[in-house]
């Protein structure tokens, strides 16, 4: 009987740790990517997951890498660089913010020369655990109006001319 209780506690403890890690840990993937700049191993793994999520259109992984503490929600627009991510090995440059250790700039140059400029945020900035996330998706403010994260237009978009 005691062996069963100990075994059950061990299984429950392992499940609890796995749940905690998937919820609060920084995602890490092994997707092929060139990294430049001063990135931590957590940041490198996170950016690899982002590129993997783009290339495979994996919305679950995209939600896992997206910063959500500020009311961010991942929509279809977050996958606008899918074709670019599939073009070949990308190069990511991480530049830490010298005055804020919870913030870094992220520039991704895809193999087809398209550039995605965004950022990395440590959830500590919002009072959360020390985990890194990528600034992607759509922000919903208190009046429920959506605002897209700033960034360059996708490669296949057309400019609209202003009419008067």
pTM recorded for the entire structure: 0.70
Terminal-to-terminal C-alpha distance of the chain: 82
DSSP per-residue string spanning 109-121 = E-TTS-EEEEEEE
pLDDT of residue 163: 41
Distance separating alpha carbons of residues 64 and 13, to the nearest angstrom: 23
* Domains parsed from the chain with CATH numbers: 26-148 (3.10.450)
What's the pLDDT at 57?
92
Per-residue pLDDT, 92:
97
Which tens digits make up the pLDDT trace of 98-139? 999 999 999 999 999 999 999 999 988 888 888 999 988 644
| Contact between residue 61 and residue 49 where contact means Cβ atoms under 8 Å apart | yes
* Residue numbers in the chain where pLDDT is lower than 50: 11, 13-22, 138-164
pLDDT of residue 78: 80
Which residue carries 């009072």 as its tokens? 127
């Amino acid at each position: 009987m005691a062996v069963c209780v100990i075994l059950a506690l061990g299984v429950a403890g392992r499940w609890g740790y796995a749940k905690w890690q998937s919820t609060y840990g920084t995602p890490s993937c092994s997707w092929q990517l060139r990294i430049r700049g001063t990135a931590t191993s957590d940041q490198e793994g996170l950016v690899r997951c982002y590129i993997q999520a783009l290339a495979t259109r994996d919305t679950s992984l995209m939600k896992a890498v997206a910063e959500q503490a500020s009311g961010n929600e991942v929509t279809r627009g977050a996958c606008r660089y899918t074709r670019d991510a599939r073009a070949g090995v990308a190069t990511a440059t991480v530049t830490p913010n010298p005055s804020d250790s919870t913030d870094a700039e992220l520039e991704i140059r895809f193999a087809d020369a398209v550039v995605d400029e965004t950022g990395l945020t440590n959830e500590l900035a919002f009072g959360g655990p020390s985990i890194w996330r990528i600034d992607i998706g759509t922000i919903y403010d208190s009046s429920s109006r959506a605002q897209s994260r700033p960034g360059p237009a996708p490669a296949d978009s057309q400019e609209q001319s202003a009419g008067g």
